[in-house]
Amino acid sequence: MLLSVTTALILPCISVKAADTATPRPLRLVMHWDHQSQFAGYYMALDKGFYAEEGLDVSIIRGGPDVRSCETVAEGGAEFCVSMLSTAIEKRALGLPMVGIAQVVNRCNFQVVAWKKPDAVKGVVIQRPDQLSGRKVTVWEEDFRLPYEAFFESTGASPKLVPQYYTLSLFMNRGVDACATMHYNEYHWLLQHGVQEEDITVFPLWQYGVDLPEDGIYTTEEFLRENPALCRAFVRATLRGWEYARDYREETLDSVMQRVNEAKLPTNRPHMSWMLNVILESIFPPTEDSWTFGKLNKRQYERASRILLRHGSLKSVPAYDSFIIMEEAADVESR
Amino acid sequence: MWNPAKSLVWRLAILILGGAGLVLAAVLVSSTIAQQRQLVKQQQQQGDSLTLAAVNRIDALLGRVVSTANSVSVCMKKGLPTAQDAEKLLADLMRKSPEINGISIAAVHGTTDWAPGVISAYRDNGTVRTRVAPRSQSHQIEDWYYLPTHLGRNVWVEPYFDHTSGRSSVTYSVPVKGADGTIIGVVTCELSLEGIREMLDSLDLGEAGIATLVSAQGVYISHPIRAFEMRETVYSVAESMGDVGKPLESLIALSRKMLSGEAGMSLYRRSPKDTPSYVYYRTVPATGWACSVTIPEQQILAPLRRQNTLNLLIGLSGMVLLLGAALAVAFSLTRPLHELAGAAGRLATGDFDAPLPKVRHNDEIGRLTSSFARMREELHSYIEELTTTTAAKEKIASELAIAHQIQLGIVPKLFPPFPERGDLDLFATLEPAREVGGDLYDFTLLDEDHLYVAIGDVSGKGVPASLLMAVGKTLLKSTIQAVRDPARAMTMVNDELSADNESCMFITAFCGILNLRTGQLTFANAGHNPPLIISQSGDTRFLTRRPGPALGAMCSVRYQNMDVELENGELLLLYTDGVTEAMNAKGELFAEDRMAAVAAANPKANTQQLIRTIVGAVTAHADGFEQSDDITMLAVRSTTCRAIEAPQPPSRQADSTIELNNKREELNNLVEWLEGEGEKLGIPAHTVMALNLALEEWFINIVSYAFVDHNLHRIPIRMWRDDNTILIQIEDEGQPFDPCAQLAPDTDAPLEHRRIGGLGIHFIRKTMDLMHYRRERNRNILTLAKKF
């Protein structure tokens, strides 16, 4: 709270300085999924004029199944993107010149949800991950698959993995016994579609050591090198947007729902409200030693890297110092 | 203050209105309940059949979709040689089934000979077109392909909203299995949900009734709020309606019931305070969707409410009319009563002229009015009579009061009357009867030795009696003061009273003069009760000497003086017949005997005590019986006038004697004898001188007045000396004359008015230590004593 107040007091001075420089260059920020509360902070930074106050002319590009945010930035389609840390590491390892300039979501929201009683006849009650062995479980493809592989390996479960796409219809039709969910999204979707909490068992991945930080802001090495001040201003404004989202949730939800409605997405306000509350819990540290708001430290990075190296197909990961450049977040922290 | 609650009019009105209102309310309530039951029952049947009809229509549509997909599947299994064959097949089926929106065949890679991946037939503005999509992996992630291939069975994919067509649709997917059981493709058949939506919208559910269709997962497929469709689920709506973190339990419970596959009806309230709605629901068998019809109870009961409102209005208008009628009747009944009440109120204040209501009908009120009028007349005449009587009574009463005042005002009432006279004890009382009797008493000291006492009783009552009493009393007193002779006074008063006595009233009276020195009572009685004398020892005697007639009864009566000697301490009691004739309720008199007995029992009592005792005895005797006559008594007792016993000359021969003739010349002999004998007996000169003067005076008195003839009479004088007392006795044969009874002369009066002899006797009394008179053997005997 003190942080946000001081930020609000100091920022106008900086914005005056930034505005003097020149006509602002248009900047594009690409999401890695459809509009939803997961990106509320960016919307608020834009809608409340925090980017403008920094002298930034930012536009937000929606993500989705057809958008790969890191590639978009690497190919010059945008200056900044939101991406999962695991995804960004992989892309960088594959040669994309990504650098992380802020770590927004510091907690892992990946879960496995299983039917508590998967068999109609047999009286098996799923209570531990290893009970999923031999059972069909849907998990996401590609970069989202990694955390689950790590989870199953570390828990000694060997389920039959079935690819999971945009819906949980197979799980809902009891075609599989478990599925992958995000705590802030699919888990609540299940509850909104008639699944009762007492009928399912939830395995949050972070409780099993798979504690991968999630959304961060990335740009290219080149852009960061040429526009360090601009990047710092962008991160400042973004984090301010998140603080605003935390403090004014209903107004934030209005902004989210406006975008959701414009995109005609089949979702509803209670779901977006759930998502906003859960994502905010993953962004702002519950205790001071949990993590640092907006920042990824080396220890967190190296732990995530180890998980990816052990369970993924990656042979090496980028060095922290060259990949995570978070002075901007440090600015925020120091204030 | 007029109190509405106590007014007959309002009570009547309230009673009638209350009764009618209760009946009206009972009718309204009972009919409402009955109609409400009827309406709800009707609505239930209607809701049930509506839902059933809707579900059947939906099911029929879905059934066609299923059969179309199945037939394509069968064709595919049999083998479709070319893509063109497939296109033709799909287009034909589409034309046969206008409700179907699109049909697709997706071949699993490598299982057919076709190059393309998906062959589709679709409608474009009513025209059936076909499309062949190149082989790609993209459809594999779509539910219509993904679900049947993974589930290995026919499946209804969740409805979705197609942004390109702007319509919501539902897809039925059938996995096509080859001879070896492997899936060689997927056939889908798509149904636009617009028709179902329109059908549900067109249901006649009234203003507020709604029909909804939700998918098996609770997603709204059709809802009057279009924004809900495909976005909101029953659970998300419950979340929105509930509190933060606490979805609306009632809606969730209802939804789970609806989606459980049963058909039924629920009376749903969002919260216990909300008005309820009837929800009829039924499941679409093919898909597990739930169709529901919701009718608010208010809408069901709206016609009833309207009817009730109308009934109530009619009822109220009726009540108002009834109130008017009730008030009219009540007023017509109570107006005469009100006027009567007013008249009665004015009557109470003495107004006998207050108008009475007209008697219109001979009903209860008419009779009451007549009775009231009669009562008023009688009351009026009675009051007039009463007024007259009262006036008369008041007059009498005032006369009585005057009489009382006269009577009581005229007799002396201050007791003790002579406080300086320790030797004289006198008390009198007059207790007037209610009707004044006209009793009187009187007393006065004529001089220091003579007391005048009188008592009287006027015949008749009232003012005339009291007036006569006043006259009689005054006359007696003034006369006795002039003549000092009871008999003479009585005679004079009688003449006065009887002279012009037209009313023939008379006074019985007793009057006497008591010589306080000698105890001799000289009295005259005019027909009065005999006084009573009570001795110290308790002996009593009545002065029953023949009395004269009452004063005023007849003229020219001569009353005689009578004498009686009262012993020292004897008490004289005068009374009227009010005492002795006091009656009790039985008619018994108190009587003289009883009075005498009471007096005898208290010989030592003083006059006041005695009179009080007798009055007490009389009162006790009467015992509350009202007396018709005054009770009047006067008691007197003289104690000191005879402190020295009448001197008895020593029995021995006189020390000296002389006999003189009744000649003035003998005076020298008397003086010579007295001086000579005085010297002999050793009497001091100044004593001789005093004796001399007294003897001279008495001797001249005898010579001058005692003898009416001119004969020579002997006057013997004797003298004794006893120690230092000289006793002298003088006798004469003259007419009786008691010097002791003579009043002291008025020394202040002019000389010519003084009575003859008065001064001389006064002189003797002053100089002698004792003067005693008695009459024996027709002789006056005067005894003088002088101490030296």
Would B379 be classed as within a structural domain? no
Of the candidates A165, A193, A269, the beta carbon closest to that of B218 is on A193
Residue type, B754: R
Per-residue pLDDT at A18: 44
Does residue A178 have a pLDDT over 50? yes
Domain check: are A316 and A216 in the same one?
Answer: yes
Before B416, cis peptide (omega within 30)?
A: yes
Domain check: are A248 and A301 in the same one?
Answer: yes
Note whether B256 contacts A194, CB cutoff 8 Å.
Answer: yes
CATH of the domain at B459: 3.60.40.10
Per-residue pLDDT at A235: 92
What is the pLDDT confidence band of residue B15, given thresholds at 50, 70 and 90? confident
**Coil, strand, or helix at residue A120?**
coil
What is the average pLDDT value for chain A, to the nearest integer? 85
B221 close to A (CB below 8 A): no
Does residue B282 have a pLDDT over 80? yes
Note whether A266 contacts B160, CB cutoff 8 Å.
Answer: yes
Q: Which residue has the higher pLDDT, B649 or B45?
A: B45
B229 close to A (CB below 8 A): no
Would B719 be classed as within a structural domain? yes
Residue B126: partners with Cβ closer than 8 Å, 6 or more residues away: none
**Which residues constitute the domain of residue B281?**
38-314
pLDDT tens, residue by residue, B162-189: 777 778 889 999 998 877 888 888 899 9
Per-residue pLDDT at A36: 93
Domain check: are A238 and A328 in the same one?
Answer: yes
Interface subset of A 264-303, CB within 8 angstroms of B: 264, 266-271
Per-residue pLDDT at A142: 79
Among B610, B638, B666, the domain boundary falls at B638
Domain check: are B427 and B484 in the same one?
Answer: yes
What is the average pLDDT value for chain B, to the nearest integer? 83
Whether B719 and B656 have beta carbons less than 8 Å apart is answered as: yes
Among B314, B331, B353, the domain boundary falls at B314
| Mean pLDDT to the nearest integer, B666-694 | 88
Domain check: are B614 and B666 in the same one?
Answer: no
A160 close to B (CB below 8 A): no
Per-residue pLDDT at B116: 58
pLDDT tens, residue by residue, A271-292: 999 999 999 999 999 888 788 8
Does residue B751 have a pLDDT over 60? no
Per-residue pLDDT at A241: 94
Q: In A3-38, which positions are buried (b, 16+ CB within 10 angstroms) versus exposed (e)?
A: ebeebeeebeebbeebeeeeebeebbbbbbbbbbbb
CATH of the domain at B751: 3.30.565.10
Does residue B69 have a pLDDT over 80? yes
Domain check: are B580 and B678 in the same one?
Answer: no
| Mean pLDDT to the nearest integer, B544-555 | 85
Among A208, A241, A256, the domain boundary falls at A208
Per-residue pLDDT at B646: 56
Per-residue pLDDT at B137: 63
Per-residue pLDDT at B383: 86
Of the candidates B161, B216, B231, the beta carbon closest to that of A268 is on B231
What is the pLDDT confidence band of residue B115, given thresholds at 50, 70 and 90? low
Would B342 be classed as within a structural domain? no
Does residue B788 have a pLDDT over 70? yes
Does residue A211 have a pLDDT over 50? yes
**What does chain B come to in residues?**
788
Domain check: are B753 and B607 in the same one?
Answer: no
Per-residue pLDDT at A171: 93
Domain check: are A143 and A229 in the same one?
Answer: no
What is the pLDDT confidence band of residue A46, given thresholds at 50, 70 and 90? very high
Instruction: Give just the sign of the alpha carbon dihedral B744, B748, B753, B756.
Output: positive
Of the candidates A165, A194, A270, the beta carbon closest to that of B146 is on A165
Domain check: are B118 and B78 in the same one?
Answer: yes
Q: Which residue has the higher pLDDT, A30 or A123?
A: A30
Pairing assessment for the beta strands A160-164 and A178-182 based on DSSP bridges? unpaired
**Which residues constitute the domain of residue A139?**
110-208
Among A208, A226, A256, the domain boundary falls at A208
For the beta carbon of residue B557, count every other beta carbon within 10 angstroms. Answer: 17
Whether B143 and B115 have beta carbons less than 8 Å apart is answered as: no
Q: In A44-72, which positions are buried (b, 16+ CB within 10 angstroms) versus exposed (e)?
A: bbbbbebbbbbbbebebebbeeebbbbeb
Among A156, A187, A208, the domain boundary falls at A208
Q: Which residue has the higher pLDDT, B711 or A82?
A: A82
Domain check: are B123 and B255 in the same one?
Answer: yes
Domain check: are B561 and B666 in the same one?
Answer: no
Per-residue pLDDT at A93: 86
Chain B residue closest to A140 (CA)?
A: B141
Of the candidates A167, A170, A192, the beta carbon closest to that of B233 is on A192
Does residue B482 have a pLDDT over 60? yes
Tell me the two tokens of residue B186. Answer: 């997927």
pLDDT tens, residue by residue, B410-442: 888 888 888 777 778 899 998 887 667 788 899
Does residue A8 have a pLDDT over 50? no
Tally of domains within chain B: 3
| Mean pLDDT to the nearest integer, B121-134 | 82
Domain check: are B668 and B592 in the same one?
Answer: no
Percent of chain B, pLDDT > 90? 9
| Mean pLDDT to the nearest integer, B239-263 | 85
Domain check: are A266 and A300 in the same one?
Answer: yes
- Tell me the chain A residues in contact with residue B219 when contact means C-beta distances shorter than 8 Å: 193
Distance from the Cα of A195 to chain B's closest Cα (Å) equals: 8
SS3 letters for B546-562? CCECCECCCCCCCCCCE
Domain check: are A316 and A258 in the same one?
Answer: yes
CA–CA gap between residue B437 and residue B431 (Å, rounded): 10
Per-residue pLDDT at B742: 62
Nearest to B629 by CA among B437, B450, B445, B364: B437
| Sheet with B167-177, edge to edge strand ranges | B127-133, B118-124, B100-107, B183-192, B167-177, B155-162
Would B138 be classed as within a structural domain? yes
- C-alpha angle A209-A212-A218 in degrees, rounded to nearest 5: 170
pLDDT tens, residue by residue, B457-475: 888 777 778 888 888 888 8
Residue type, A43: Y
Chain B residue closest to A190 (CA)?
A: B217
CATH of the domain at B146: 3.30.450.20
Would B322 be classed as within a structural domain? no
Does residue B28 have a pLDDT over 60? yes
Whether B489 and B479 have beta carbons less than 8 Å apart is answered as: yes
Chain A residue closest to B155 (CA)?
A: A173
Would B143 be classed as within a structural domain? yes
Does residue A161 have a pLDDT over 70? yes
Whether B761 and B743 have beta carbons less than 8 Å apart is answered as: no
What is the pLDDT confidence band of residue A19, given thresholds at 50, 70 and 90? very low
User: Which residue reads 């057809």 in tokens?
Assistant: A66
Domain check: are A192 and A273 in the same one?
Answer: no
CATH of the domain at A177: 3.40.190.10
Distance from the Cα of B42 to chain A's closest Cα (Å) equals: 33
Alpha helices (H) in B361-461, listed in sequence order: 364-410
Distance from the Cα of B154 to chain A's closest Cα (Å) equals: 12
Does residue B34 have a pLDDT over 50? yes
Does residue A16 have a pLDDT over 50? no
Per-residue pLDDT at A334: 38
Residue A29: partners with Cβ closer than 8 Å, 6 or more residues away: A42, A58, A59, A60, A61, A78, A79, A80, A81, A82, A217
User: Which residue reads 């490598």 in tokens?
Assistant: B110
Does residue B644 have a pLDDT over 70? no
Domain check: are A185 and A235 in the same one?
Answer: no
Note whether B239 contacts A170, CB cutoff 8 Å.
Answer: no
pLDDT tens, residue by residue, A142-159: 778 888 988 998 888 999
CA–CA gap between residue A111 and residue A179 (Å, rounded): 8
Residues facing residue B661 across a β-bridge: B714
Domain check: are A134 and A94 in the same one?
Answer: no
Note whether B218 contacts A194, CB cutoff 8 Å.
Answer: yes
Does residue A329 have a pLDDT over 60? no
| Sheet with A215-220, edge to edge strand ranges | A57-61, A26-30, A80-84, A215-220, A98-103
Q: What is the ipTM of this complex?
A: 0.83
Helices H, strands E: what count in chain B? 16, 26
Domain check: are B213 and B262 in the same one?
Answer: yes
Domain check: are B121 and B262 in the same one?
Answer: yes
Does residue A47 have a pLDDT over 60? yes
Chain A residue closest to B218 (CA)?
A: A193
CA–CA gap between residue B754 and residue B747 (Å, rounded): 8
- C-alpha angle B250-B252-B254 in degrees, rounded to nearest 5: 70
Note whether B158 contacts A167, CB cutoff 8 Å.
Answer: yes
pLDDT tens, residue by residue, A227-250: 888 998 999 999 999 999 999 999
CA–CA gap between residue B699 and residue B363 (Å, rounded): 112
Domain check: are A117 and A241 in the same one?
Answer: no
A258 close to B (CB below 8 A): no
What is the pLDDT confidence band of residue B136, given thresholds at 50, 70 and 90? low
Nearest to B452 by CA among B429, B479, B470: B479
- Tell me the chain A residues in contact with residue B155 when contact means C-beta distances shorter than 8 Å: 173
Pairing assessment for the beta strands A136-140 and A178-182 based on DSSP bridges? parallel
| Mean pLDDT to the nearest integer, B531-548 | 87
Distance from the Cα of A86 to chain B's closest Cα (Å) equals: 23
SS3 letters for A56-78? CEEEEECCCCCCCHHHHHHCCCC
Question: Chains A and B: how many Cβ contacts under 8 Å?
Answer: 62
Would B329 be classed as within a structural domain? no
Per-residue pLDDT at B165: 73
Instruction: Give just the sign of the alpha carbon dihedral A65, A71, A75, A77.
Output: positive
Distance from the Cα of B236 to chain A's closest Cα (Å) equals: 6
Torsion angle (degrees, nearest 10) of CA A269, A271, A274, A277: -50
Note whether B150 contacts A175, CB cutoff 8 Å.
Answer: yes
- Tell me the chain B residues in contact with residue A267 when contact means C-beta distances shorter than 8 Å: 231
| Mean pLDDT to the nearest integer, A323-329 | 70
Does residue B75 have a pLDDT over 50? yes
DSSP A55: T
Tally of domains within chain A: 2
Domain check: are A231 and A182 in the same one?
Answer: no
Does residue A317 have a pLDDT over 70? yes
Interface subset of A 194-233, CB within 8 angstroms of B: 194
Domain check: are A232 and A326 in the same one?
Answer: yes
Per-residue pLDDT at B753: 45
